Amino acid sequence: MGRGKIVIQRIDDSTSRQVTFSKRRKGLIKKAKELAILCDAEIGLIIFSNTDKLYDFASSSMKSAIERFNKTKMEQQQLVNPASEVKIVLRVVVLAERGHNSKARAALIAGKSSRNLIHHENLELSRNVQRIHQENIELHKKAYATSSTNGFGLRELEDAADESHAQVRLQLSQPEQSSKS
């Protein structure tokens, strides 16, 4: 028979709590070791007990794991920090100076956030896509009107195009002999 699920909450009895902490800490360290070996992962595990006792495990060295963590964390923060927001604003300034995006210029003057600027830039792009789609529809209508005035309908033009690309099949036949009466 299997054990029932336990409710995850603070254990009131201090002795039971200490025993559970010790068992689970050992299990966690064992899993970290296995993960490091099986997946060739760099693991750094730091555990502080409620009595401020330090337990740690590192697959290579704790120092290199912490340095790698800090480096990765700083790289992620650079993507989100105000310096990257400045890059977005500079991009908007360049677009505004070129005259491509009047909303970007207005947003820059109004001092809107980078998210709003990106939103407006996306709106501008979607409007351009819609405009190009509309131009394609108009060109299709003009082509249809031109074909109608030339005496060909669109269907006849398509059929003529299909016929010009169709394969020609020739068969050899014997000349017919005419019978004279």
* Torsion angle of C-alpha atoms 142, 148, 149, 150, degrees rounded to 10: 110
Does residue 18 form part of some domain? yes
Does residue 92 form part of some domain? no
3-state SS assignment for residue 172: coil
3-state SS assignment for residue 176: coil
Does residue 28 form part of some domain? yes
6's tokens = 């336990």
pTM exceeding 0.75:
no
The answer on pLDDT for 26 being more than 80 is: yes
Banded pLDDT at 58 (limits 50, 70, 90): very high
- Report the CATH number that the domain containing residue 49 is assigned in CATH: 3.40.1810.10
d(CA 54, CA 83): 37
Does residue 101 form part of some domain? no
d(CA 44, CA 70): 12
Alpha helices in the chain (DSSP H): 14-39, 62-80, 82-98, 102-110, 114-149, 154-165
The domain containing residue 45 runs over which residues?
A: 14-60
Q: Assess contact for 46 and 22: CB atoms under 8 A.
A: no
Does residue 21 form part of some domain? yes
Does residue 100 form part of some domain? no
Comparing 62 with 112, the larger pLDDT belongs to: 62
Q: Phi and psi dihedrals of 57, rounded to 5? A: -145, 140
Picking from 41, 44, 43, 50, the residue whose alpha carbon sits closest to that of residue 11 is 50
Q: What is the mean pLDDT of residues 96-118?
A: 60
Does residue 162 form part of some domain? no
Does residue 44 form part of some domain? yes
Q: What is the mean pLDDT of residues 25-50?
A: 94
> What is the total count of domains within the chain?
1
Comparing 24 with 162, the larger pLDDT belongs to: 24
